[in-house]
Structures are given as C-alpha cells and as structure tokens.
C-alpha cells in the first residue's frame, strides 16, 4: 500500500461539452477507517453517461457532484483493512465509491462479489448496473411479447447490447443502431441482432427504420434521443412502448433542445412513453442477477469492454464515452 491516494476531483462545472479542464488529478491522504469502517483498494471503475448530468448544478434523482470534491462511480475493489464484522480482509466488493485508488466505507450499499465466478470488471457491466438497467427497463416498461419488434438505439453500448440480447432470449425481433460499421457488424454477427445500421452513414434514419422494421416497432429502448427518437416515434405500432433510458445526444447541450416532432402520435397510436431509474426496481434487479450468470455461462449473453489503464486517464476516457468512442462498457483499471 502506498501512502498516497490519487483522486479525480470536479474542478469546475462544464458548460456544453466536458473538457479535461473540468477535472483535477490530485494526491490525497490515505483514508483511515474508523470503528465499523473498511478500506477498499479500488481495482476497476465504471464510467457511465449519467455522470454528465451529475456534473451540472440542480435537482435530479441523485445529488450533483460537488465542485472541489472527489467524483463518485461504480467501483469494484478488495477490502484491505476491516473494522466491520460483515467484511473480512480479502473480500471483493462493489458499490458506489470514489474516483480514487483507495476508498473508506461503512459498508452500506456495498455488495460482496465472487472473483471466481466472473472477471471483477464484469460486476460493473453485464453483471452490474448496466445489465440490471437493461432488464428493468425491458421488463417493467417494455413488457415484451414473443414475436414483437424491439428497436435499440446505442445498441453496442453497455446497456443497449444487453437489451438486444435479452430481446432475443425472449423471442423478439431485434433491430439496433450504432455509430461505427465495426459495431454494427458485432451486433449482427456476434450478438444475434436481426438487423442493425450505422446511423451516421445510413441517410435519413426514419427511412432506414422503415426499411428494417417494415411491420413497425413495438418496443423502443431509447438511449440517444434527438433524431433517432423522432424517427422511432413515427415507426411505432399502436400500443407500442417507448422506454426512456437515456438521451446521450443532448447531455452536452448548452440549452434544452426542442422535443421530437410527432408527439401527437403518442395519443393517436396510444403509445406508452416512460422513464425509469434502475434502483427503483430492486425486485427486478435481484431477478436479473439470479438469471444473468447462467445466461453468460450458456453463451446467451455476450459482453465487451473498453478498458482504460490508469486513474489519471479517466477524464479523457469519460469524454470519449460521451462521444461514442468506446466499444461496449467503458471501464478504468485502477491498479
């Protein structure tokens, strides 16, 4: 153990696009766990699009990051000091900890994980929050029925790639979009999507969706918003369900953009359009975790990561994530 705990702090709130100047890489003191506390050596850290919203000031479903304070992320690490009877030295845990090499915790909100069951980083992706997000949204709002058509935007991402595979497990026809030809090929050749397209080069998205979903869309799992959401809206079938998971195309807008055209279709086609927060559905999270390891072992759920080495490179990796430069789940390896 070193005596220095390197950390990433929020230096300033971004206006528009995030830049590396909004972060500060600093040397902090080694945390000293008190009674009932543990010290975790962080091994892998998750970077996720929702973090962009927490960099803004204002009320949301989670408090904003504080300027001058260590940022927070999903982390998996090893307990190296324990003053808590629930955790032993050598236990591996995952939960919300800091963008730092070492974190102190009272154990609340942490979960033990088994490094022999799967690689530790997977507990931040397919066996973690992104996987649970995919399952919760699809099941609670999508309510899939065999034979229906599912469209997934940002389909090669950490959430979208799981959504599409879950759709195939449930007997759906699955169509997705991504921003690179290599990602499109991965969706169809490896993950089993029935069709996929590059939204940057396909021409008008609504025409492509009309071509690939000739019988319409029953479920839209929306991660992007903007032009893609508008195109999907016009292709929705009567009584279709639109699952609002994210709007990554708008996260760096300086001013809110106008909503998609065609909102009257929600009434005319009796559509359901609903957002969700994954941890509001703990029952479904547990249900997914009980099933996911088996699906992974059977080869029904496949997974891909982009791993960036070094805490100091986390800000650059986060900016790349917002620009779609990652392939699969964006992870930072900390030790």
What residue ranges define each of the domains in the chain, with the CATH number in brackets?
A: 4-125+303-333 (3.90.180.10), 129-279 (3.40.50.720)
Tell me the C-alpha to C-alpha distance, in Å, between residue 73 and each of 48, 107, 143, 259. Answer: 8, 16, 30, 30
CB neighbour list of residue 59: distance below 8 Å, 6 or more residues apart = none
- The CA distance from 93 to 290, in Å, is 18
150-198 pLDDT per residue, tens: 999 999 999 999 999 999 999 999 999 999 999 999 999 999 999 999 9
270-311 pLDDT per residue, tens: 999 999 999 899 999 999 998 998 999 899 999 999 999 999
CB-CB contact of 131 with 105 (8 Å): no
- Residue 157: which of 332, 327, 333 has the closest Cα? 327
- For 59-112, the DSSP string reads --SSPPPPTTSB-EEEEEEEEEEE--TT--TT-EEEEEEESBSEEEE-STT-EE
Q: Which residue has the tokens 């392939």?
A: 327
1 has pLDDT over 70: no
237-271 pLDDT per residue, tens: 999 999 999 988 877 877 777 778 999 999 999 99
- Residue 154: which of 50, 246, 252, 74 has the closest Cα? 246
206-241 pLDDT per residue, tens: 999 999 999 999 999 999 999 999 999 999 999 999
- Residue 93: which of 51, 48, 63, 123 has the closest Cα? 123
6 has pLDDT over 90: yes
Q: How far is CA 325 from the centre of its chain?
A: 14
Within 10 angstroms of residue 146's Cβ, the number of other Cβ atoms is 8
CB-CB contact of 139 with 284 (8 Å): yes
Q: How far is CA 154 from the centre of its chain?
A: 11
Total length of the chain: 335
CB-CB contact of 188 with 155 (8 Å): no
pLDDT on residue 2: 54
- For 218-269, the DSSP string reads EEEEESS-HHHHHHHHHHEEEEEEEEE---GGGTT-SSPPPPPS-THHHHHT
Q: Which residue has the tokens 């050749």?
A: 189
Within 10 angstroms of residue 267's Cβ, the number of other Cβ atoms is 8
């Amino acid at each position: 153990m070193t005596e220095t705990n390197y950390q990433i702090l929020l230096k300033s709130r971004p206006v528009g696009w995030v830049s590396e100047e909004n972060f500060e890489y600093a040397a902090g003191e080694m945390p000293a766990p008190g009674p009932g506390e543990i010290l975790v050596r962080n091994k892998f850290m998750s970077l996720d699009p929702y973090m962009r919203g927490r960099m803004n000031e204002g009320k949301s479903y989670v408090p904003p990051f504080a300027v001058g304070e260590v940022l927070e992320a999903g982390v998996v690490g090893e307990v190296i000091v324990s003053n808590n009877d629930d955790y032993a030295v050598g236990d591996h845990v995952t939960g919300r900890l800091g963008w730092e090499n070492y974190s102190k915790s009272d154990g609340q909100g942490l979960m033990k994980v088994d490094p022999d069951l799967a690689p530790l980083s997977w507990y931040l992706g397919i066996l973690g929050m992104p996987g649970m997000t995919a399952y919760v949204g699809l099941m609670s709002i999508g309510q899939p029925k065999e034979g229906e058509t599912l469209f997934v935007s940002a389909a090669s991402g950490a959430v979208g790639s799981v959504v599409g595979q879950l759709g195939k497990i449930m007997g759906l026809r699955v169509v997705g979009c991504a921003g690179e030809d290599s990602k499109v090929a991965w969706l169809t050749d490896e993950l089993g999507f029935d069709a996929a397209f590059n939204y940057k080069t396909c021409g008008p998205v609504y025409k492509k969706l009309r071509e690939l979903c000739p019988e319409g869309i029953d479920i839209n799992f929306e991660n992007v918003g903007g032009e893609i959401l508008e195109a999907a809206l016009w292709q929705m079938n009567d009584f279709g369900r639109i699952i609002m998971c994210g709007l990554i195309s708008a996260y760096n807008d300086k001013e809110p953009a106008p909503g998609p055209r065609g909102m009257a279709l929600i009434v005319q086609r009796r559509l359901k359009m609903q957002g969700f927060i994954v941890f509001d559905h703990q029952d479904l999270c547990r249900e997914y975790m009980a099933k996911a390891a088996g699906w992974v072992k059977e080869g029904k759920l496949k997974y891909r990561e982009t791993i960036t080495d070094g805490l100091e490179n986390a800000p650059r990796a986060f900016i790349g994530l917002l620009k779609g430069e990652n392939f699969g789940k964006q992870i930072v390896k900390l030790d």
